[in-house]
Copies of this chain bind each other. A is one copy, B any other.
Amino acid sequence: MTLIVKKFGGTSIGDISRIKTAALRVKETYDQGHEVLVVVSAMSGFTNTISKYCADMSPMFDAREYDAVVSSGEQVTAGLMVVALQDLGVDSRSWAGWQIPIKTDGEHSNARIIDIDGTELEKRMARGEIPVVTGFQGLGPDNRITTLGRGGSDLTAVAMAATLGAERCDIYTDVPGIYKADPKIVPFAKRLQKISFEEMLEMSILGAKVLHYKSVALAMRMGVSVQVLSSFENVPGTLLVGQDYMLEKDTINGIVLSANESKITLLGVKDEPGTVAAIFSPLAGAGIEVGMIVQDVSKDGRITDVTFTVELSNLEKAEKLLTAAQPKIGFDKFIADPNVVKISVVGGAMQTNTSFAQIMFDALAEKGINIQAISTSEIKISVLVSGKFAELSVRTLHTAYGLDMVKNE
């Protein structure tokens, strides 16, 4: 008998009736003769609400307590999903990460899975039970709950699928597959039947929200077949496929918007060795990743300004840390701008056609959209723009790169 892992995101199980619909999807697969293991996120909105509680209580909240607090969301949906399945006559029970256990490295709020004990789950699935596992969380060496960071529930699903040798891992989200651009912004964006792990990885790293890059990387490494689909439309989604599905080298694979950005500028920084390290080391120590970095050319060779991006959710914490380190760093003024977004154009075409960057700059300039920072690699160009231009930028680039004319496969 083959196993299918099914993971439901927050929108797919956002209320009682949606959980019932999701349970029907599970039962359909179960009735086809598969073993099924379910992984659930928290209800949509829950994690944000509860994160805000922590931030309101203290911007310097303890990551260990944050983990204990936010992990409650999946505990709720796992139990409710089991009740929904039982109501359909299926034998089922919920499993918190600590009960399985899903062991992690103990880095709170951003832990890595190091081991999953699947023995008991396999035994129970063999006799027809459907385990419902809390996504996003495991147990650290300190016997405390650790969360896996953004996209952690997808990661749980892919890791369970890899551990248990599942035939496929279905990721249910609020769109019925992978598109060349967010269909909420570009309604006629092309939906893909297949996408290679490599292409998906690029898009995810740059902020495509449908799948986090950690999950894509894990699936690629472990050879887990992943399908992205919607629980509302009962149709096949997009399949992530292996390396034999070749990259189309001369096309644009997607336009990706990341709204979870914020910009920090430190004015009047000393232009000397060690300054940049002094700025970034307290951030790194708190697990805050820095994205784009722009250092202005020093006018007098002694004083300069440094601009960089951090995830929006880290902005308040970063401000506290940098303000506390001000005497050591030595800057005049801290300026934060939460109203920025990152737009990326991804594709093999970047490698072969140097005019692709120019198309981007021209198209944005024509709409009066100011570029605040740029970063490039062999396979993508990213720009930082004001948040108010987010959707306009995506639509403009979708048109500029000729994607409007591409029909769905």
Q: Give A residues with C-beta under 8 Å from B.
A: 16, 19-20, 50, 53-54, 56-58, 60-62, 64-66, 68-69, 71-73, 75-76, 78-80, 82-84, 86-87, 93-94, 96, 98-99, 143-145
Contacts and interface: CB of A to CB of B under 8 A. Distances in A.
B87 A58 contact: yes
B99 A144 contact: yes
Contact of A19 (B57, B60, B78, B86): B57
Contacts of A82: 62, 65
Nearest to A65: B79
B58 A69 contact: no
B57 A84 contact: yes
A289 B79 CA distance: 25
A64 to B, nearest CB: 7
Contact of A72 (B60, B61, B75): B75
A11 B73 CA distance: 21
Q: How many copies does the complex hold?
A: 2
A369 B320 CA distance: 63
Contacts of A83: 54, 57-58, 61-62, 65-66
Contacts of A76: 50, 53, 69, 72
A337 to B, nearest CB: 26
Interface of A is mostly: helix
A93 B75 contact: no
A54 B69 contact: no
Given A62-B86, A65-B94, 16 more contacts: A19-B57, A53-B80, A57-B84, A58-B84, A58-B87, A62-B83, A64-B93, A65-B83, A65-B86, A65-B93, A68-B94, A69-B76, A72-B73, A72-B75, A96-B145, A98-B98
Given A83-B62, A93-B64, A57 B16 contact: yes
Nearest to A68: B79
Contact of A69 (B57, B64, B80, B86): B80
Contacts of A61: 83, 86
Nearest to A78: B68
A22 to B, nearest CB: 12
